[in-house]
Amino acid sequence: MFKHILVPLDGSRMAESALGMAASLARRFGAALTLIHLVEKDAPSEIHQERHLVSAAEASAYLAEVSSLSILGGLAVSTHVHEAQVSDVADSVTQHAAELAPDLIVMSSHGKGGARRLLFGTIAQQIISRGNTPVLVVRPSAGVREEGARWRTVLAPIDGNPAHEKGLPVAMDIARAFECRLHLLMVVPTVGNLGGFQGALSLLLPNTTRVKLEMDSASARVYVAEREKELTAAGVHAGCETSRGDPARAIVKAARRLSADLVVMGTHGRAGTDAFWAGSVAAHVVNRAVAPLLLVPLKES
């Protein structure tokens, strides 16, 4: 599954919070790690009372220091510093991802300086819109994963559309690798959670909409039960549930209740950052969830 993992770092402890998850995955999958730093043009020497790397020499020394941390002990770790100063860190990381060809990028959702903008700028949208590389987002508040910590649950939200379930095989492989449970979640909205055309239609036909959503809920229970059986037959320890309401809130709530070690979900990367994040379930989950979130890009036919 994962053979090469890319970890962008900016010199801050917040950005380094992604190292624990990256190391855990690298050990289970026998993957190599590449730690990367890009020197930002006109970067200040300190941001929020933490160092900010301003030269290639400083960045090389920093990455060498990080690569020798005990949490990365025994792993194949390489480092890369882009010496030419860049104005757009996110764009440069995207270009390096294309050159280095990782099959996973692991990053903190809130680093300092350039890394702070990686997710909420253009990096995630660019990677996912190209349909090549999954992005695993780790919140610094989750802390660094302890070495050898046992995984218990991987949560995989699905929506009943097989074309949207590209993340499910990834979740299956991770659940097998960590010998943990894969929990399926399917969320059916209520009338109040509908938007767009469906929301407008519910105003005109509220009773009809409620009946349809009840039917959808019943179908969802059958669907996830069938998928659970398929996973069990494939040798995966699986569970399932359905929920009603706002999808993002339901996913976050389930992740917290289950103490999920990871949430894996597919997401579309349409052109333009605004288009990608506006109304995106994945974006809302990133903003609210404490559990790491692995976004698997979905290619549209």
Same domain, 68 and 198: no
Q: Is 111 a domain residue? A: yes
Specify whether 200 is located in the same domain as 223.
Answer: yes
- The answer on 165 and 99 residing in a single domain is no
For residue 34, being part of any structural domain is answered with yes
Most confident of 30-44, 133-147, 244-258: 244-258
Are residue 235 and residue 194 in the same domain, yes or no?
yes
Q: Does residue 260 form part of some domain? A: yes
Residue 182, domain extent: 153-298
Residue-wise pLDDT for 45-76, tens only, equals 655 556 667 788 888 999 999 999 999 999 99
* Rounded distance between C-alpha atoms, residue 48 and residue 40, angstroms: 16
Burial class for 32, CB neighbours closer than 10 Å (0-12, 13-18, 19+): middle
- Domain termination residue (choose one: 118, 142, 166): 142
Q: Which residues contact 58 (CB under 8 A, 6 or more apart)?
A: none
| DSSP of 170-185 | HHHHHHHHHT-EEEEE
**CATH code where residue 194 lies:** 3.40.50.620
pTM for the model:
0.84
Number of domains in the chain: 2
Greatest Cα pair distance, the chain, in angstroms, is 67
Cα separation, 28 vs 18, in Å, equals: 16
Each residue of 162-205: pLDDT tens digit? 888 889 999 999 999 999 999 999 988 775 555 554 554 454 45
